[in-house]
């Protein structure tokens, strides 16, 4: 129950960053919670600043109506499910792969079009690691995008080449999870 008391930080004269403001590639990966919710939080922040945001979800089905979909609808932020929830519903993996490629074509156009401040590619690592999307094309799209466009990618086991290309990468590490002690998923928390 002890706590290590620390001193608050003193004012530091921070070196002003020398770089330019520009669109970033941000990745949330790892086995812990918070990869998608942190991407949603970023979208919420950008939207609040009056920026155009588009969210694509590579696993969720188009009809998904989780809490986040309802709130983003209220905000007027478009969220598009591109998948078929393959990990528990579909066993037609050829169809899942086809959906991923069709979805990526849309997302690619949104990134390259330059009309969005931020494009979120939620759970895109799964179609990548299942070999459904060509990693090279994703990397190339990110490299060739208009310089002001921010792209946020989420999902476990992010390919190293994406990490190398990204500007900001966070690994969400699972320390513990309520599921491990038998608490079931709950509406408003998990979906």
The CB-of-48 to its own copies minimum distance in angstroms stands at: 3
Question: Which of 13, 46, 62, 83 forms a contact with its own copies (CB under 8 A)?
Answer: 46
**Contact assessment for residue 178 and residue 33, using Cβ atoms and an 8 Å cutoff:** no
The CB-of-107 to its own copies minimum distance in angstroms stands at: 18
- The CB-side HSE value for 133 (13 A sphere, CA atoms) comes to 30
The CB-of-85 to its own copies minimum distance in angstroms stands at: 12
Q: How many CB atoms lie within 10 A of CB 114?
A: 13
SS3 47: helix
129-158 residues in contact with its own copies (CB under 8 A) are: 129-131, 135-136, 139, 150, 157
Question: Which of 110, 118, 149, 151 forms a contact with its own copies (CB under 8 A)?
Answer: 118
Q: Does 105 bind its own copies (CB under 8 A)?
A: no
CA angle 154–116–149, rounded 5-degree value: 65
Q: Does 170 bind its own copies (CB under 8 A)?
A: yes
Q: Does 20 bind its own copies (CB under 8 A)?
A: yes
Question: Which of 117, 119, 120, 151 forms a contact with its own copies (CB under 8 A)?
Answer: 117
70-99 residues in contact with its own copies (CB under 8 A) are: 70-72, 74-75, 86-88, 91, 93, 96
The CB-of-66 to its own copies minimum distance in angstroms stands at: 7
**Contact assessment for residue 122 and residue 36, using Cβ atoms and an 8 Å cutoff:** yes
Instruction: Return d(Cα 132, Cα 128) in angstroms, integer.
Output: 6
Question: Which of 111, 128, 151, 153 forms a contact with its own copies (CB under 8 A)?
Answer: 128
Question: Which of 13, 94, 147, 188 forms a contact with its own copies (CB under 8 A)?
Answer: 188
Q: Does 57 bind its own copies (CB under 8 A)?
A: no
Q: Does 161 bind its own copies (CB under 8 A)?
A: yes
**Alpha helix (H) residue ranges in 15-81:** 35-48, 67-75
The set of residues, in sequence order, having a beta carbon less than 8 Å from that of 147 and lying 6+ positions away, is: 22, 23
Instruction: Return d(Cα 169, Cα 25) in angstroms, integer.
Output: 8
């Amino acid at each position: 129950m002890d706590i290590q008391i620390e001193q608050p930080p003193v004012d530091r004269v921070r070196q002003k960053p020398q770089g330019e403001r520009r669109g970033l590639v941000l990745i949330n990966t790892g086995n812990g919670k918070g990869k998608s919710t942190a991407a949603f939080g970023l979208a919420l922040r950008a939207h609040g600043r009056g920026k155009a945001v588009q969210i694509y979800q590579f696993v969720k089905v188009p009809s998904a109506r989780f809490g986040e979909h309802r709130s983003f609808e209220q905000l007027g932020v478009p969220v598009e499910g591109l998948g078929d929830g393959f990990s528990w519903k579909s066993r037609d993996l050829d169809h899942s792969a086809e959906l991923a490629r069709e979805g990526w074509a849309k997302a690619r156009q949104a990134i390259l079009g330059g009309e969005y401040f931020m494009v979120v590619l939620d759970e895109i690592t799964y179609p990548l690691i299942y070999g459904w999307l060509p990693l090279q094309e994703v990397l190339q799209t990110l490299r060739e995008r208009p310089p002001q466009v921010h792209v946020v990618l989420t999902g476990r086991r992010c390919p190293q080449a994406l990490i190398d290309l990204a500007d900001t990468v966070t690994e969400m590490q699972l320390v513990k999870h309520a599921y491990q002690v038998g608490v079931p998923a709950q509406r408003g928390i998990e979906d």
